[in-house]
Amino acid sequence: MRILIDRFIELLKWPVAVYMLFLFPACIRSFYSFQFMTWKYVAFTIGIAVFFISRNMSDNGIRSNIQIIAHECTHAFFAILTFHKVTRIRVEGDNSGGEMEFKGKGNWLIVIGPYFFPLFCFFVMIGISIYAQFADMNLFLNGILGYFFGYHIDTVFSQIHEKQTDLPKVGYRFCVMFLPGANLWALGSILAFNSRGWEGVWLYQRLLGYLNRKNYEIVISFLSEIF
């Protein structure tokens, strides 16, 4: 089962990269559809600000350790999601990096996961959904989501560099095609959740599909005029 899943994901590698490349303009256009002048987004923005203030006040070693742990846990998340047994997660004592070991060959999704997927935000969103089943939503929860939104942005920017060993494994051409669109898609999905929960995330995916079709029609029309 695990081998079949790995092979299937590998077959999807370049189609997904091409899709994310074409999705990038739609993701940019989608941000114009958000109504940011609401109390939910005020609380969300305050949460982002609190993160960056606390970041500048925290110890560099502790911050690096947390980022490494989150990085390796995201690798592990996608390993488990694709039916691989995680055998060890290790963090270097000098904050130079970490390692996640699992059984099986693996796939590109496990390798690239930490560079676009907001793991902490994802679990916060699940937690908020559970909380909302028993109590009313409040702006404090939007602030918590904003805090981890800021954490995700900071983590992604800090770990994409020329010395990163994961990126060459999937290829720099793939990274250039996949990561910009994938990151904007993830950020937009979090913003949509902040507006209307999981319903907002679903509506956001529909919006991206609509914008993508419009962009496709524009490109086809432009090419038709040229040729």
Tell me the pLDDT tens digit for each residue of 129-154: 999 998 888 999 999 999 999 999 99
Whole-number pLDDT of residue 227: 67
Most confident region among 103-107, 151-155, 165-169 by mean pLDDT: 151-155
- 197-212 pLDDT per residue, tens: 999 999 999 999 999 9
- 58-101 pLDDT per residue, tens: 777 677 778 888 889 999 999 999 999 988 888 776 666 777 88
Which tokens hold the place of 75?
């690798």
Bridge partner residues of 98 (DSSP): 91
Where is pLDDT greater, at 10 or 158? Answer: 10
The alpha-helical segments, DSSP class H, found in the chain are: 2-30, 39-57, 60-81, 108-112, 119-132, 139-159, 166-170, 172-226
Taking the C-alpha atoms of residue 142 and residue 129, their distance in angstroms, rounded to an integer, is 12
Predicted TM-score of the model (pTM):
0.91
Whole-number pLDDT of residue 93: 61
Q: pLDDT band at residue 119, thresholds of 50, 70 and 90?
A: very high
Which residue, among 98, 112, 118, has the nearest Cα to 187 in the 3D structure? 118
